[in-house]
Amino acid sequence: MSAGMAGMWLSFVAMGMMIVAALLILLSRTRLKGIIRGFISVIAYILLVFGALLMMLVVMTWPE
């Protein structure tokens, strides 16, 4: 697999992580209560930050 293809798949993974994070945040704010709400929110924000960092990595290293 070439470096460009690997970067493309990594960007898809990063976008997927950010979409899942947005859905989890929406779920935790509207449907959940208590400790589960906090746990899901923490997981969602970790996914959001990690996905954003991966996307920044892909953007910064794209023209190889």
In a domain, 55, yes or no: yes
> What is the percentage of the chain residues whose pLDDT exceeds 90?
83
Confidence of residue 9 (pLDDT cuts 50, 70, 90): very high
CA-to-CA distance for 26 and 22, rounded, in angstroms? 6
With bands split at pLDDT 50, 70 and 90, how would you rate the model's confidence at 64?
Answer: low
pLDDT at 18: 98
On whether residue 61 sits in a domain, the answer given is: yes
Per-residue confidence (pLDDT) for residue 4, from 0 to 100: 86
How many domains are there within the chain? Answer: 1
Does residue 4 form part of some domain? no
Q: What is the pLDDT of residues 29-51, one digit of tens each?
A: 999 999 999 999 999 999 999 99
Q: How far apart are CA 44 and CA 24, in angstroms?
A: 6
- Select from 16, 15, 14, 23 the least CA-distant residue to 44: 23
Residue 59 falls inside a structural domain: yes
Tell me if 43 is assigned to some domain. yes
CA end-to-end span of the chain = 14
Domain span at residue 58 reads 18-64
